[in-house]
Structure 1
């Protein structure tokens, strides 16, 4: 619900009734992933999407009924000869969608506020029942104490890694409930993108990072360049030597680091620190000659070949980019490919699933 949370909060403030449809399971080349949500208000307004347009009409009708009955529904949509263009996924694949009324959503206002603020929370849904897992407490119920215990254990583990999906609770210690499946949706703070080097390319990278849902920090040791006027879209500006800042800030497996300084006095000590972190992506700007010199300096500093192999340098995909904005697209493309295992090749001529 992260992409529709602002609209839901507005509906709550107005006292508007609504239903939320969520993708809980997909097969084959489904267009949206589990957790993708669409909401329909009693006034007929729509937020979000569950299929990019393929089955929204059918989901809309189901949501209208759920608003009236205040009872949850579950539907599966796929391609069939008779109804593919009416309510099917014309692009292929199959999705299972859960439609819940607002009254079935436990701690709704608190959950929406947590999502908006980037605080961790997990929800476990089973029909009209919902359990909410907070870091320090649990709210709601699935209608059975045994289910609640099993769901709490599973959801807490999934929350720690940010996983979302359908879980069979019987596989986690409650064997008498082996046929009960629940949908666990987790919300963590947005992943971090740290952009080092307050140059013109950094502004474009910061903008596209925000567009992709990252919490973007721009860091540069030069206060004349790292200004709010130059980087209005950055969530955070830091004036500090890059390697000192990186040593002092939180970096996890979801963090991406974009090193745009291409100056050895900045990027060599910075990369020595970066390569000791669990960051998912470390991209470094510079020509091949600059990068060869950088690699020499890093080897002389004792950085291993295994560590150096983590670097994406020169940064970005080969798109023929010229402008800062085009370069930012090339960098974003490489980050997305690394995140989801994409090849970075044109889909034309590939027979792999389009949506992963």
Structure 2
């Protein structure tokens, strides 16, 4: 989204006619979900996507007409035979798309504020009026940008929000998915989750590469400079080299932190888990066989780590997909990270009982 907004600003500065389009509500099966955005230019070119296919071509066709007006519109598309006949893909759902012509610096100001909010990476929500009948005193397409403190920081259209806007707002800190309440669509932009990769061997390197591609912010940790370096981790925001006992104690861990432990050996894995098991991290995962994981859990319990803390550790980490190679192992791990980030749980088919339940080691007296 940040790149798209930068493209939008550049187009306006160059006086190129452009429409900002955004998927604001879906029902049923659709190729994209709310929040997907696309820029459409007067020559028919585009940046971004709303899902491709005939429906995207129809959005583009209708948006080009809106370029000649000053007024944004909410357009509805039923994904039936009208938009699926050419490729055989008929989703059967419904999409509502905001189409907003952006002409000058005044129009651009709202989007600049949105870009600032995204750059600050604290999370924000965009509220878009879909049904003015249920939002008295306001018009369809009126929009409000709301920061992480639930404050309205920008508006496009009527500057006065409807009373039900705040009533329907969910705290962005809870990472809600886009939703509609009382005729208002709420598009959510979450704070970036950081992924701490403890262990920079082959698996850690591949996980970092894939996780960066799906918008995790990477912090790589290892005690070996030859493994933990910018050449092997070009997308990492931070590289930390040092012994685990000195580096892990000072890691910046919060509720949006994900941690995977993939060091080169049993002892290092145990040491790392001992430091982070009771942290506020949203996800902690450790690689290894079931036998190795249980041995580590038993040792940590004897040393005083609470069972409850270890019960929340995903170990062995990753979805069971029959992984054999390093890329397959990394894919299974990143799939689990994405599921936990986006769904706040592991899908039912992949849920497992913690290996802590199989231990007989008593808690220390």
The alignment's TM-score, normalised by the length of structure 1, stands at 0.79
Moved more, 256-265 or 88-97: 88-97
Contact 1:316 1:334 in 2 (8 A): yes
Distance 1:94 1:128 in 2: 18
Structure 2: which 5+ residue stretches go unaligned? 130-139, 351-365
**Alignment RMSD (CA, Å):** 3.1
Structure 1: which 5+ residue stretches go unaligned? 170-180, 346-356
Distance 1:192 1:297 in 2: 28
User: How many residues matched?
Assistant: 332
The C-alpha deviation readout for 1:219-266, integer Å capped at 9, x for no partner, is: 113334311122222222112444654543443444321110153443
Q: Which residue in the other structure is 2:121 paired with? A: 118
Change in Cα spacing, 1:275 to 1:142, as seen in structure 2 (3 Å) is: farther
1:187 aligns with 2:200: no
Q: Provide the secondary structure at the position in 2 that maps to 1:96.
A: strand
Q: How does 1:131-210 map to 2 (within 5 A)?
A: 131-134=144-147, 138-140=153-155, 142-143=157-158, 145=160, 147=162, 151=165, 157-163=170-176, 165-168=178-181, 181-210=183-212
Change in Cα spacing, 1:125 to 1:261, as seen in structure 2 (3 Å) is: same
Contact 1:272 1:303 in 2 (8 A): yes
- Deviation for aligned residue 1:64: 1.2
Q: Which residue in the other structure is 1:236 paired with? A: 238
Distance 1:203 1:306 in 2: 30
Q: Provide the secondary structure at the position in 2 that maps to 1:19.
A: strand
The alignment's TM-score, normalised by the length of structure 2, stands at 0.78
- Deviation for aligned residue 1:213: 0.8
Q: Provide the secondary structure at the position in 2 that maps to 1:326.
A: helix
Q: Which residue in the other structure is 2:297 paired with? A: 295
- Deviation for aligned residue 1:35: 0.9
Contact 2:205 2:233 in 1 (8 A): yes
- Deviation for aligned residue 1:47: 1.6
Match for 2:216 among 214, 217, 236? Answer: 214
Q: Which residue in the other structure is 1:271 paired with? A: 273
